[in-house]
Amino acid sequence: MRNKITVVGAGNVGANCAMWAAGKELADVVLVDVVEGVPQGKGLDLLQAGPVVGYDVAVTGANDYEPTANSDIVIITAGFPRKPGMSRDDLLLANYEVVKTATEQSAKYSPNAIIIVVTNPLDAMCQTAYMVSKFPRHRVIGMAGVLDTARFRAFIARELKVSVENVTAVVLGGHGDTMVPLVRLSNVAGIPLTELISEERLKQIVERTQNGGAEIVKHLKTGSAYYAPSAAAVEMAESILKDKKKVLPCAAYLEGEYGINGLFVGVPCKLGAGGIEKIYEIKLSAEETAALHKSAAAVQELVDVIKKKM
């Protein structure tokens, strides 16, 4: 019996999640969306791509959650996208309602699933899914660090004209401009970045990484990134479904790690069949710790608003 992935939201991010997952033959995929006909149409289109690409999984679409029953993974992408001049924080209350409903329905039909949240503002939406589902913390995970790290790695690789596969990078903190790319622990084939790129240029690359999403929104004008975010979410799903135990930066619910309690913050996690199987605590400098706590404080402000709604 094949694994099953539910993708909530059949927009650009959700449809591409379904495409990446089907292309890797990870699982049968169910696309769910409130707009009648959209998930069904996109699901059928992806199903018909199977003979061309060479995958045998089923991709279907639905407007209700009954067909999602007994999913192993639920990827929540539904929500309103960012528009130019709009911060992730502006999305908070609108997307809170969307994620709340998606979580309630997903948990009802798939009580043993692992939830991967993609909807922005990411860290606060993870908190919503965690509180609504009442799942243990290892089964609610936020996709943020994989994307942020990918952006950092892409910029470094382009700067040095080397393969992205040789670039290892570490990004901690909330998903947004308060994220903390750790230059000290990032390298190219083991060579520290500080030996390859000037301090001034590194600072520019870090700032571009922190504003990576906003840069794409500025270009698109009527939407936000979707290829890289969806690929990142599916990398996480793959590590879980194949029990690969990849160490990936994810938004995880912290209970004292890094001196942070009761919040979803981006940290290195081992992802396996049980979801988050280990959270790694890196020894940080005083400056890095301060930056991480500043990022966590920004997340806390959003969570405080959500808690008033619950």
Q: Is 138 among the residues known to form the active site?
A: no
**What number of CA atoms fall less than 13 Å from residue 185's CA on the CB side?**
14
Contact at 8 Å (CB) between 111 and 42? no
Residue 189 has pLDDT above 90, yes or no: yes
Q: What is the C-alpha separation between 170 and 274, in angstroms, rounded? A: 23
Q: If you average pLDDT over every residue of the chain, what do you get?
A: 95
Contact at 8 Å (CB) between 252 and 276? yes
Q: What is the C-alpha separation between 195 and 228, in angstroms, rounded? A: 28
Taking the complete model, does pTM exceed 0.85, yes or no? yes
Domains and CATH numbers, the chain: 4-142 (3.40.50.720), 145-309 (3.90.110.10)
pLDDT tens digits, 48-94: 999 999 999 999 999 999 999 999 999 999 998 766 676 656 779 88
pLDDT tens digits, 197-210: 999 999 999 999 99
- Distance, C-alpha 130 to centroid of its chain: 15
pLDDT for the residue 308: 81
pLDDT for the residue 64: 97
Q: Which residue has the higher pLDDT, 269 or 178?
A: 269
**Residue 176's pLDDT band (cuts 50, 70, 90):** confident
- 185-212: average pLDDT: 96
DSSP H helices, the chain, are: 12-23, 38-53, 92-109, 122-133, 145-160, 199-210, 212-220, 227-241, 286-309
Residue 242 has pLDDT above 90, yes or no: yes
pLDDT for the residue 87: 66
